[in-house]
Amino acid sequence: MKLVLSIVNSDDASAVSAALTEGHFQVTKLATTGGFLKTGNTTFITGVEDDKVDEVIKIIEDKSNKRTQMVPNASTIDMGMYSALPFEVTIGGATIFVLNVDRFEKI
Write the pLDDT tens digit of every residue in 40-85: 789 999 999 999 999 999 999 999 987 776 666 665 555 555 656 7
Pairing between β-strand 66-71 and β-strand 40-48 as defined by DSSP bridges: unpaired
pLDDT at 77: 56
Alpha-carbon gap, residue 13 to 38, rounded angstroms: 17
pLDDT at 93: 82
**Helix axes of 53-63 and 10-22: crossing angle, nearest 10 degrees:** 140
Q: Is it true that domain 2-100 has CATH number 3.30.70.120?
A: yes
